[in-house]
Every structure is written in structure tokens, then in C-alpha cells.
Amino acid sequence: MGVDEPDDEREDEHEEAEPDVGGDAKKKKPRKKKKKNKNKEADEPFELLEDGQPTASPFWTPAPEGEFGNGGFPPQNEDWVDVTCVCDLAVEGMQVGEMIESSHFRLYDAMSAIEIMDPKMDSGYNNSEDMTLEKAEETGIVSSNLANEDLVAIMDQLLMYYLLWMEGHTIIQTCFCCLYLQDPARLLKPMPAFGAFVDAFLASCRRARDAVIRAGVFDDEDFLPTMFGTDLEVCVFSSDPNEVQKRLAAERSSLKKTGGAAAEAVADRLEFMGGYMLALVDLLDAGPVKVKGSDGKLASSRPASAADQLTNCLGLLERMEQSSVGSASSEALRCFDPSINRKLLVPGPPRTVEPIQDPKVVFGMWTSHVHELTLCTSLHQRQMSEMLQGCVTFKDQPNILPRSVAQICVSEPGLARRLMLDSMEQHLFPVEALQHCKKIAEPFVARCESLFLHLLKLAHSNNSRRFRRLAHVFADFNELQHEAWQLDEVLKTTFGANLRHARPCWVWIMEHCLQSMIDKLLLGFQLELYDEAELHMIYWYVDYLHGLRIYNLNELCYAKEQSQSAAGKKKPASAQRKDQAPGPRAVNKPRNPPAALLLLEATQSAVRGLFRLLAFCLSQGLLRSPPASEDGLAQRFVLRFRSFEHFRLPHLPSYQDFELSAVTAQAPVEGRSVLAAAQTSFLEAAQLLERVGAASKDGESRCDRRLPDDAKSLKKVVVANLLVVTQLLRSWDDGEELRGKKQVNVETLHHPSLVSLQVVPFKSKSRE
Amino acid sequence: MSTSMESFASVTTGKESLAPVAEGQVKDSESAKGFMGQLMNTTVRIHISDGRIITGQLWCFDQLRNAILLNCHETRVSAGPDQHRPLGPLVMVPGKHILKFEASRSASEAAAAAKYQEGDGPAGE
């Protein structure tokens, strides 16, 4: 489990070139992905003959080039002879299990053969039973006059299939399994309300698909953009969103006059679809409309308009859930038949798409989807650090459309640079340096912009891709670290005592690099890559990285406080020399640290507590990890942290460093001390979390929207693990034997990357 | 003739039977097995019970009449023009669904004419 990082990391080294935004975008040639090791027998189904070339003979016809190697199959003018009798005669003389086979036959390859007439494997099986439009019209499955109740059911089903399409299923097995969409212009013109809904639906599908392709942050498992020959450009009345919206409004007025619960339900759905379509138009269509804000600056009005539409959609979803027909609509839903598109699928095991039956689940998913899109409307107000964590919350992946929309929004020209400069300014970088030290500052900023655009794109990729690709950014960070150091020297010379912090650029680069390292490590928890035996090792490293971050941020916040409090007062020369003197010195801590820094310190304490607690559990045999995992820790250390070696840290932790800490933590005689130390760490974390709440009220912390949720989940982790420590301490003090009597379950229950432990009675493996 | 052979024999497409080609060569099970062995890697055509015709290179044939074919195509005979569809590199046709087994004339003649003896039979023995 999880010990295959090198192959994963090497897989994507080729990346297509990032758009050149004025920096040095590294252009790499795409190269073939390395194949993972497979059984040699399975590498090629056909072995070449002895001379390395397939020879033509009456009995072996090398497959010509073409689809499946069959340029001319099936033979058109072949003269066929019936050999059935010979087959039967041969079979009579064969024993059970006996085969007549080609000399190139391999049983291993035969296992992957598709079985004809198997309903799951043979996509052509019972093809005569596939639905056709003619059959549907003859049997009344499609109609030119639908009752409002049926319309509600069909619209809800289309909305459900849209979500399934967004989850990675093919469009022909989801949205386009609706028979009305096979010829919408003809079938839906007699039903203008349904026609208007479908126009809005298809307009949304077009934009969604374009957005996902344009953003380029999807993988195969996230989304399938292939259309399989279907046409998304079709429409019933119009494909112009404004025209569609007008028609929807007209139909809604007409339905209101009709009255009745069903008519109202249809009207709600028309309004929802129109609102959703317009929100996508606002978010994605080119050319943001600029309006002057209250501060006199030009700002785009499109995100605000999209936010209004999506907020309205959220309200409509609640009403739609109440008016959904649910299971009473099976008759109306006969117009959804995936078999109509079966011939469009490639031969092979058909992936059947199970529709979601429960309307509550469907509308819950829609609510989550719309909420995630709403987050994308406020991206311009976010800070760089928040953006690099991903602007959308990644709940229920793949979540591909909100991620793609977010990526498109942050790719807006100039936005990344603006965010970067804001972030640098917060790290006390003097913005005037862009003019006064232009020669060195401008290229540095340009190279940073290139890297940060890449990081922003990674932030919107799925977790797997992010985990793999983050391994390759540290070399770039290392180069920037050196450039930042040189730039800081120039800043010192240029600005002298006016420079508020000795190393603003270097600290800024360090901060983002350390954050990326921590993100990479913690992503491993969400991807379930780690064995229980190595969790303490991961937390040990994370603790170290947190420590470096906290050190730098303390210095930074202290410098901010000093410059604010001493505004107008010049420091004595001795104090200035002390601030800028090289060599180790005590950390300057701010008097009123911001909430984000306090949360970071709390997290570090919790991580340290977890390291100690897990080390103790491992030493007492409370974790159910296989011996091989424990024995291979040294190799795992190299594997997990190898990519960090490309960046020069103040001290590069080695396995010996870890072993020293772990051995101390795991020493049998020190068991109680280790538990007590873990308890101390968790209590420290709890105290810091109390201070986070108080500090959250200041202006700077209010900008970080995730802070309250992060603090809440960290608190749950701390409380859960404190309970475990208390239980173990009690057992220890009572002289209770833990090994073989108790075990510990480890899960990321309350936090995506910090585990919560639970003490349970020991269960032997034979009993499981 | 067994019942299954009767059902097999009842399906004809008007093509010539094998008898003239194999006359004197395919006398018993052993020679039939040899004949089938010689058909390996040649293009064969199998009619199955739902009306489709599977065409591919014969790769393996077993005691249950299951056949494994390489690089197959499926042909659907309908009122209009025949529809062809590639099936993939490897397909197994269950013996219970095989109605008729056809080989190309050239391959059949070559298989019938090929010399084989007991102990020097086709692969798989």
C-alpha cells in the first residue's frame, strides 16, 4: 500500500507547457508515460516469431494497421466453407479440458477476452432490444403532450443525470439517454415549457463542458469530455442565453396563470435552470463587464451577478425538493433509456450508470454543487494563501465544474500577480522596490508569477494529481530562494533602516515552500497512502516543518508590530544592529499574534502530540500494522521525503534524526513520560485554540474564511486524542497490560489529515 | 448424429459443404482435430444464436466448442446493408451459442491437404 511513489511521481513529469505569462514557463516535451511493471506475459498478447517478424503464411495473417489492427476486416469477398461438422467430429474425440490452440496461444491473455452473449461484457447482446426513437414514438414512450407532473419528473431526472455526467460518466449514458434529446427540435416544439427548459439545460451543458476542457484540471476519473458523436449544439428554440431566458420567463408567466401545485413545480424548475444557465454565462463567458465600485475602482460585475443567480438557485432547490415526484414517476421516466446509445459505446464491458433514486440525495448534491460554484464568485476577494489551498472546498470529489470555474477565474490576466504582490506586501516587502530595484525585482517577480500560476492550477486539480505534481515544485522554489536572498541584499542596501524586515522575500518564499511541503505530506492522509506504522514519522516531519514556519512568521509578525508601534520613532543603532546581526538568536515573538499564527501553533502542538502518542502505541503493540511496515521505515522515510531534498532547508532531517526522536518516544521505561508529554502537547493545542477564538475578531483574521472551521475540526481532534491519552495513562497507572489486551483504531474522523485515535478491546486477526 | 450436431447441421447458408474438400482426409476425430489445428490463425466466421456473425482469427478451440478469436468483427444481417462493428482484440464465443462454423475455402483446402500423423498433430495435444 502506498509504497509506489517513484512511479507515480515520474508518471506526470511531462506536463504540457504552461501559458507564458511573462515568466519563464518551462516548456517540456511530452513524453510517453512509463508503464508500471506488469506480468511479463501480459505485456503483449502476441509474441513475435523467432526472427522477430511476423511472417505471412497460410495460417498466420499479420494484422494490418487500422482499428484493432483490422484495416480490411471482415473479409468482403471471401469464399466461406461450412466446417461445423468437422468441429463436431473433433469435439467428439477431445477430452474434458482439452484444447486445440495456436502455437502463440497464451491462457493468461485469454482471460481478458470478451465473452460474446454475456449481458455485461457483450455490448451488442440483445441489440435488437435497444430502444430507437421510432419505437419510442410508436409505443407512446415519447409524447407531444406531457402533464405537468410528468414534466416535473423528467426535469428532475435530467438534473440528476447532469450531476452524474459531472461525476465522470459519459454524456450518452446520462443526459443523452433522454429520448427527447435525440431530436429535441422536433419532439419538444409542441411543448414550449419543456423546450425552453431543455434549451437552458443544453446551454448549461455546453458551458460546463467548455469550462472543464478550458481549465484543464481534470483527469480521466474526474470527467469524460467525449461526446460520442452526439451534438450539444442542438436546441429547440434558441441557443442564445438571453433568448432562452426570455422564453423561460414567458413560460413561467403562463404556468402561473394555469395555477396548481404541479404548474408551480414546473415553473420553479424553469426558473432554476435559467438562473443556473445565467450564472454559468456570467462566470465563464468572455469579457468581464466592468463597473465602478464604491471605491471608485473598476470591478467586474459578472461575479456579483452570478452570485445573485446562484443564491436564488439555492432557494429554488429547497422548493424543488419538496415538490419532487420521487418514485411515483416511473411511467414518465420510460423516456430515459440508455440502450438508445449503446451502439455509440466502444465494445467492451459497458459501464452501466445507476441513476440516483432518492430525490433528497439529488437535491443535496445540487445544493452542494451550487454552493461550491458560489464560492467561485468571490475569488477576487481572497488572499494568495487561501487560493493556494483551493478556492472551493473539495467536498465530494470530483467536484470538477467548480474547480474548473475557479481555475478559469484565477487565470484572469494580472490576478495572480496582484495576489502575489499583496502577499509579498504582507510579508513586509516594500512595493517601491519594484521601481527602485527594478532590475532585480522585476525578473524575480516574473519567475515567481510563473511558479505561483502553476501552484494555483495544482490547487484546483484533484488530490492525486496534486500530490504527484507537488513533488516537482521544490526545485523551482529552491532557485527562487536563492534569488530572493540576493534581492533581500539589494533591498537592504537600497532601503536601509526603512526596510521593516531583514529578509522579506526569502521569508515569503520559505513560507510558501514550507506550506507546499506540508500540503503534500498531509494529502497522503486523504489519499490513504500511509500505513499506521509510519504515521508518527509523517507527523514528526510535519512538526519540524511547522516549526520552521512558526519561527519565520513570529519574526515577521514581531517586525510588523515593531514597525507599527515605532512609527515615526527611529530605533537606536544598537537595536538595529541586533535585529540584523547574523547567527542564532532568540525568536522575536509578537505580543498579539494573529489568529492564523495561533492556529498554526495549535496545529503544531497537536501534531507533536500525535507523534508522541502514535510512537507510544507502536511501542506497546497497540497498532495493527504488519511487521514489514515497521521494518521498512528507513526506506519509507526516503520515499516520503525524497522530493524535499531539492529545497535547501536550514537543516535537512535525516532518518537518524527521526530514529533518535522515535526511540526516545518508544523506550519502554519512558512510556508514561511519553504519554504525559503527549498530553501536554494536546493541552497546549487546546489552550492555543482558546486564544484563536479571541484573536479571530481582528481585521486580518477575518479575511481567512476557513479559520473558524479549521479551528473547530482541530479542537475535535485534540479532544478525541486527549481522551485516548487519559485512558492509556489510567491503564498504565493501574499496571494494566496493554499489549494483547487493547488496540487502537486510527482514523481521520474529525480532520482530513489529523487522525483521531480510539482505544478498543483487542481483536485477534483470526476473529476478524 | 448428436442432437447438437443436428441443430448445427440444420443451419445452412447455401455455401458448399466441406465434404468434397475434406473427402478422404477427415475420417475420424483425430483427423478432425488435426484439421482444426491447421485452421488455427486463419480467419473463421461463426454464426451465433442471436443472428450475429463473428469473424476473426481462430486462436483456440476447446472440447465445449468454445472458440477464442483474435481481432474480431461483428456483422449484423438486417433488411438493409449489413452492419459491421469491431469487437476488440480478443473475443470468446461460447460453444452453446455457435450455430455454424465457417472457414475460408483456401484455409480449408490447405488444412485438408496438410500432412499430419498421429503424434505429430496440431498444437494442444
pLDDT class of A481 with cuts at 50, 70, 90: very high
Which residue in A86, A677, A52 sits closest to B61, CA to CA?
A86
pLDDT of A662 over the 90 cut:
no
pLDDT class of A336 with cuts at 50, 70, 90: very high
What average pLDDT does this structure show over A459-464? 90
- pLDDT score at A529: 94
In sequence order, the β-bridge partners of residue B93 are: B67
- Among the partner-chain residues B32, B45, B59, the one whose CB lies closest to the CB of A101 is B59
- pLDDT score at A631: 85
pLDDT of A639 over the 60 cut:
yes
pLDDT of A55 over the 50 cut:
no
Q: Does B7 touch chain A (CB under 8 A)?
A: no
Contacts of A75 in chain B (CB under 8 A): 43, 55, 104
In this structure, is residue B122 part of a structural domain?
A: no
- pLDDT score at B119: 43
- pLDDT score at A293: 47
What single-letter amino acid sits at A28? Answer: K
Residues B100-115: pLDDT tens digits?
999 999 998 888 887 5
What average pLDDT does this structure show over A163-185? 93
pLDDT class of A359 with cuts at 50, 70, 90: very high
* Of the candidate ranges A105-114, A272-281, A424-433, the one whose mean pLDDT is the lowest: A105-114
pLDDT of A118 over the 90 cut:
no
In this structure, is residue B1 part of a structural domain?
A: no
Count of alpha carbons within 13 angstroms of residue A412, beta-carbon side: 19
- pLDDT score at A410: 87
Which residue in A11, A15, A196, A42 sits closest to A111, CA to CA?
A42
Q: Which residue has the higher pLDDT, B43 or A15?
A: B43
- pLDDT score at A378: 86
pLDDT class of A699 with cuts at 50, 70, 90: low
State the Cα–Cα distance between residues A267 and A278, nearest whole angstrom.
17
At A35, list the grid cell: 508503464
User: CA of B96 to nearest chain A CA: how many angstroms apart?
Assistant: 10
Contacts of B124 in chain A (CB under 8 A): 98-101
In this structure, is residue B121 part of a structural domain?
A: no
| Contacts with A, B 18-57, CB within 8 Å | 18, 21-22, 26, 28-30, 32-33, 35-45, 48-52, 54-57
What average pLDDT does this structure show over A237-262? 94
pLDDT of B98 over the 70 cut:
yes
Q: For residue B46, what is the domain's CATH number?
A: 2.30.30.100
Question: What's B10's DSSP letter?
Answer: T
In sequence order, the β-bridge partners of residue B73 are: B55, B86
State the Cα–Cα distance between residues A237 and A245, nearest whole angstrom.
11
Mean of pLDDT over chain B: 77
- 3-class DSSP assignment, residue A444: helix
pLDDT class of A60 with cuts at 50, 70, 90: very low
End-to-end CA distance of chain A: 20
User: CA of B43 to nearest chain A CA: how many angstroms apart?
Assistant: 8
pLDDT of A764 over the 80 cut:
no
Residues A195-246: pLDDT tens digits?
999 999 999 999 999 999 999 999 888 899 999 888 999 999 999 999 999 9
Give which of B43, B85, B87 to mutate to test A binding, by max A Cβ within 10 Å: B87
In this structure, is residue B55 part of a structural domain?
A: yes
User: Are A347 and B86 in contact, with CB atoms under 8 Å apart?
Assistant: yes
State the Cα–Cα distance between residues A737 and A742, nearest whole angstrom.
8
CA A704 to chain centre: 20
- pLDDT score at A339: 84
In this structure, is residue B47 part of a structural domain?
A: yes
User: CA of A135 to nearest chain B CA: how many angstroms apart?
Assistant: 17
In this structure, is residue B104 part of a structural domain?
A: yes
Residues B16-39: pLDDT tens digits?
454 545 556 678 899 999 999 999
Residues A392-406: pLDDT tens digits?
766 666 889 999 999
pLDDT class of A263 with cuts at 50, 70, 90: very high
Q: Which helix (H) or strand (E) segment is B60 a member of?
A: strand B52-62
What average pLDDT does this structure show over A666-680? 84
Residues A706-747: pLDDT tens digits?
888 899 999 999 999 999 999 999 999 898 888 888 899 999
User: Where in chain A are the domains?
Assistant: 133-286+303-379, 413-529, 547-563+590-763
| A604-616 exposure pattern, b = at least 16 Cβ within 10 A, e = fewer | bbbbbbbbbbbbb
In this structure, is residue B13 part of a structural domain?
A: yes
State the Cα–Cα distance between residues A604 and A546, nearest whole angstrom.
6
Q: Which positions ≥6 away from A356 have C-beta within 8 Å?
A: A160, A163, A164, A362, A365
Which residue in A105, A122, A102 sits closest to A45, CA to CA?
A105
**Yes or no, beta carbons of B108 and A81 under 8 Å apart:** yes
DSSP string, A396-441: STT-HHHHHHHHHHHTSTTHHHHHHHHHHHHTT--TTHHHHTHHHH
In the A/B pair of chains, how many CB contacts fall below 8 A? 235
User: Are A512 and A526 in contact, with CB atoms under 8 Å apart?
Assistant: no
Question: What's A37's DSSP letter?
Answer: P
- Among the partner-chain residues A63, A83, A94, the one whose CB lies closest to the CB of B103 is A83
In sequence order, the β-bridge partners of residue A515 are: none
Q: Does B112 touch chain A (CB under 8 A)?
A: no
State the Cα–Cα distance between residues A587 and A603, nearest whole angstrom.
19
**Virtual CA dihedral for A196, A198, A204, A205, nearest 10 degrees?**
-160
Q: How many domains does chain B have?
A: 1
Q: Work out the percent of chain A whose per-residue pLDDT is above 90.
A: 57
User: CA of A119 to nearest chain B CA: how many angstroms apart?
Assistant: 13
Could you count the other beta carbons within 10 Å of the beta carbon of residue A10?
14
Count of alpha carbons within 13 angstroms of residue A445, beta-carbon side: 23
pLDDT class of A351 with cuts at 50, 70, 90: low
In this structure, is residue B64 part of a structural domain?
A: yes
Q: Which positions ≥6 away from A262 have C-beta within 8 Å?
A: A147, A148, A149, A151, A152
- pLDDT score at A681: 96
Q: Which residue has the cell 423528467?
A: A154
Q: Which residue has the cell 483427423?
A: B31
Q: Which residue has the higher pLDDT, A393 or A149?
A: A149
Residues A1-39: pLDDT tens digits?
444 444 444 444 444 433 333 334 344 444 554 444 444
Distances (CA, A) of B69 to A75, A241, B38: 15, 52, 15
pLDDT class of A73 with cuts at 50, 70, 90: low
User: CA of B51 to nearest chain A CA: how many angstroms apart?
Assistant: 10
Mean of pLDDT over chain A: 83
User: Are A391 and A382 in contact, with CB atoms under 8 Å apart?
Assistant: yes
Structural domain for B58, as ranges: 7-114
